[in-house]
Amino acid sequence: ILKLIGIDVNSFAVAGAFIIFFLAIEMILGITLYRDDEPETASIVPIAFPLIAGGGTMTSLLSLRAEYHVENIIVAIILNIIFVYIVLKSSA
């Protein structure tokens, strides 16, 4: 998909790093860089979902794919899934 658009993996990784950086700044400093003043709709989203399967995850996978073999990435993903399952299952 990235080749179709004309973006290389390094540029995508840098853009993902900026997104993660701005999210971290918002969380650490308690400021809002971009928010709608009055949202038109309201929805409830579990907080764990965007952190586990969000844009940072996709950026990390694409960056890892450029450096490591697919087998190593699959093993790391499986170990991560097990760890996240244990943490989420043990949380209240």
Q: Which two tokens stand for residue 23?
A: 């999210």
| Structure confidence by residue, pLDDT tens digits, 30-88 | 777 766 565 566 555 555 555 666 666 777 777 777 788 888 888 888 888 898 889 88
Domain ranges within the chain, ordered by starting residue:
2-90
Q: Give pLDDT, residue 78.
A: 86
